[in-house]
Amino acid sequence: MKIVEVVFNGLGLMTWESFANNRLPLLNLPEDILEALRKGSLEYTKARAIAQIKEMNERVAFLEQAIKESWSLSEIKQRISEKKTPDSTPINESNDYKERFTAAATKLKKSPIWSDQKKRKLLEKLLSQLEALTQSD
């Protein structure tokens, strides 16, 4: 046991307890998710969230789309939650808009849109509209 502690302390990444609790259980994930993890196309937190989808065909399609569109963990959780509760109340719809806005803002920050002059002009126009909406309160 002491040797394991020394090795993990030497690595400095995490404790052996953290590894045993968070990373080791990943080996029990479905094979499609494990493959994406091994390729490095998916973070382990996202993999654990996607593994909640039990139906294989649905999970594989969801996984491919999440990787292709670089969904954040919060986007993944939101979309999984939406799948579980298809009927939405007005309160959920309001939250949905907030979550969609947050997801869009996150994607926008990472996007190469900033170097495209036409897209920047469109973004400027949209920002002005958003600012106008918030000033009318």
Report the topology of domain 2-135: Arc Repressor Mutant, subunit A (1.10.10)
Ramachandran class of 28: left when φ > 0, alpha when ψ lies in -120 to 50, beta otherwise: alpha
Total residues belonging to the chain: 137
Q: Where are the domains positioned within the chain? A: 2-135
Q: Whole-angstrom Cα distance, residue 50 to residue 60?
A: 9
Output the tens digit of pLDDT for each of the chain's 137 residues: 678 777 767 777 777 677 777 777 788 889 999 999 999 999 989 998 999 998 999 999 999 999 999 999 999 999 998 887 655 445 555 567 777 777 777 788 778 888 888 888 888 888 888 888 888 65
Report the SS3 class of residue 121.
Answer: helix
